Structure 1
Amino acid sequence: MKISRKVAGTIAVGVAAALVLGGCTNRNEPAASGGSGEGDGQLTIAFVPKLQGIPYFEAMNTGGQQAAEELGFEWLYQGPTTADAAAQADIVRSFIQQDVDVLFVAPNDPDSMAPLLQEAADAGIVVATTDTDAPDSVREVFVNQASTQGIGEALTDALMEAMGGSGKYAIVSCGETAANLNAWIDVQEEYTASEYPDAEIVDIVYAGEDQAQATQLATELMTANPDLTGLVGECTSSAPGVAQAVSDAGRIGEVFTVGLGTPQAMLPYLEDGSSSASILWDVEALGYLTGWAGVQLAEGNEFQATNDVSDTLTGVEYDADTQTLLLGPPTIFTAENAGDYDY
């Protein structure tokens, strides 16, 4: 694993000084031009989420901030206010201009993001992805929340348990070009066909990262398919959206929903039965792992097959062939355990 041209001259002194002094500045806006921390030798790690302001990415930000405090680097966080690839690209360009040390992106559109990651790498910035990959790019690592197969199968199994293993269901996804969502849907289609032959996916629609739009689309799906008995919300905005649609329609117990929702957002739906389960992972831990991975990349440390990241985050697997760090298996949130989480 190589050290970037820019980091090579400052990282050893900068990280050591930061660890000794325990100083760390956390900001939720990018620094002004020239504010990458090179003046004081502090390592800067920037993260550009798909969308800023939703609970999921704010929880990732919290985890990144915690890593910054404990490991001694500056964590920069900014994303677009809508899930727009062009707006996200503008923020990436801003971080390139600021000459940050490490740049993580959760791309809305992996293909259009790839040239920008190349531009950042050419400028000596270490580039990586987290939450969502851009596999056909120069990114040095992908920090993955859970395996694609594990997520797709867990979503399907949870819904089929609620539906009794048969029936028709539809998927309300978010961004049409989101690589992670599309990969999970591929698994759901294959796994449903092979393991639940009496079940059928009748439609897949896209709501962007808009919860209200997800509710509207789910309502339309139930109207267009009177025999529909299941809905999947494929991201943290559509999971509560589809549950809200079932509640609004007065069809709790007739149409079952599962999705990828944050625990607190899903808790009322899990409690009233409009959602049967939420499949996710420890989002704050994903943010922490992202920050930790950035330090390893900047220092030129090789990832091991298994990595002990912190006292509470151990055994994180690394696949050298795909350059992927895997947080771990997905977590199933229900009415019984969702209240144990504060995001």
Structure 2
Amino acid sequence: MTHRPILAVAAAGAAVALLAACGGGQVGQTPGGSAGPAPGNKNLVLVPGVQNEPFYISMQCGAQQEAAKLGYKLDTQAPQKFDASLQTPIVNALGANKPAALLIAPTDDVAMATPMTTLKNMGVKIIEVDTALQDKSVAQSSISSNNAEGGKLAADTLAGLLKGQKGSVLVLDTIAGTSTTNARAKGFTDELAKYPNLKSVGVQFTQNEPDQAASKVTAALSSTPDLVGVFATNLNTGEGAATGLHNAGKIGKVKLVGFDASPSEVDGLKSGDFQALIAQDPAGIGKQGVDQAVAAVEGKPVQRTIDAPLVAITKDDMDSKSQYFYKSSC
């Protein structure tokens, strides 16, 4: 099938117009009507957390391939930023031409419950991919990395890199209420407590902005002379942390462990900006999301929770683990 690019939608009006343009095959629906998806509806919609991010592009690639294999059509739309106020109108607009199922990475684990529930009440099957709501009654299935375990893996990896060195460690998270990164930060902090030579100086939020991550690192280097490690919970925080360490001449001296394996992060691992990456399997999450969506649509058994694999990658073993590198296009 033709691969559709991830589209940015910043307002409800734009989202409605976009759906009208790319909602081919969704018939029998009245905008704002209460009827469910049309019988035999083979349309799926993927709403990732943000546009143009390699993790979500890789997820889209896996989902598109599986949807085509199963005889379904997949449209992908994403907000310009990881922001519930931008994701909500995209979901709300789906009520006009109801897909058979929505695959979504909720950008807030509470705020996105209302628009997702509204769509569910219209008969649309809801599948969570990557992130999830606190309310477990909305989605029929959630496919995600075990993010707490990913945080623990990051702590163990950092401790191994430091080889008994004593000092403080900074955790950079994205936005409060982001289920995935918050779980990574907590898993990391909990596991770090097992290493008496390492002390957490706390979790700081960056609003998912690289420049804020860079400034947080700069401030931490100034206030914490014994800083020996930084854990960045996603791509943007990792890139920002690397910038901050570069500016201070601390690359390699302060160990940086990032989450995900985007092309820029892989380049950073190769160059020494990162000492380790904790990679997910976004294409696999997309594939599983489509599998569960199709099962729900066709009345077959659905698995409520699916954990996707995680792997630690260092410069020494990156060539043998290249299958986990994320894509910038399908």
TM range (shorter): 0.7 to 0.9
C-alpha displacement of 1:225:
1.6
Q: What are the superposed Cα offsets for residues 204-236 of structure 1, whole Å, 9 maximum, x if unpaired?
A: 111222223322222222222222111111012
Q: Secondary structure at the match of 1:50?
A: coil
SS of residue in 2 equivalent to 1:168:
strand
Any stretches of 5+ residues in structure 2 without a counterpart?
8-17, 28-37
CA distance in 2, matches of 1:46, 1:250: 45
Distance 1:294 1:56 in 2: 20
Counterpart position of 1:192: 192
Provide the TM-score with structure 2 as the length reference.
0.84
SS of the residue corresponding to residue 237 of structure 1 reads helix
Q: 1-side partners of 2:155 and 2:275: how far apart?
A: 12
Q: How big is the alpha-carbon RMSD for the aligned residues of Structure 1 and Structure 2? A: 2.2
Deviation at 1:83, TM superposition (A): 1.6
Instruction: Give the letter for the 2:307 counterpart.
Output: L
Alpha-carbon distance in 2 for matches of 1:127, 1:171: 32
Q: TM-score, normalised by structure 1?
A: 0.81
Whether contact under 8 Å (1:33, 1:97) holds in the other structure is: no
The residue aligned with 1:209 is 208
1:1-12 matched pairs, under 5 angstroms: none
2:308 to 327, 340, 343: 327
Contact (CA 8 Å) 1:34, 1:98: kept in 2 or not? Answer: no
* Structure-1 separation of matches of 2:326 and 2:279: 14
Q: Percent identity?
A: 25
Compute the displacement of 1:203 (Å): 2.5
Deviation at 1:263, TM superposition (A): 4.3
Distance change in 2, residues 1:131/1:163 (3 Å): same
CA distance in 2, matches of 1:325, 1:100: 23
**Partner AA of 1:234 in structure 2:** T
**8 A contact 1:155–1:188 mirrored in 2:** yes
Which residue number in structure 2 is paired with residue 170 of structure 1?
A: 170
Please tell me whether the aligned partners of residues 104 and 130 of structure 1 are also in contact (alpha carbons under 8 angstroms). yes
Contact preservation (8 Å) 1:83, 1:208: no
Q: Give yes or no for contact 1:34–1:99 (8 Å, CA) kept in 2.
A: no
Q: Is the 8 A contact 2:133 2:179 kept in 1?
A: yes
Aligned to 2:14: none
Q: List gaps (5 residues or longer) in structure 1.
A: 1-23, 304-317
Query: Residues 167-208 of structure 1, C-alpha deviation per residue, up to 9 Å, x if partnerless?
Result: 211111112110121122222222221x21221110211122
Equivalences for 1:1-343 in 2 at 5 Å? 24=1, 26-28=3-5, 29=7, 31-32=19-20, 35=23, 37-39=25-27, 41-136=40-135, 137-145=137-145, 147-165=146-164, 166-193=166-193, 195-303=194-302, 318=303, 323-328=304-309, 330-338=310-318, 340=322, 341=325, 343=327
CA distance in 2, matches of 1:218, 1:78: 33
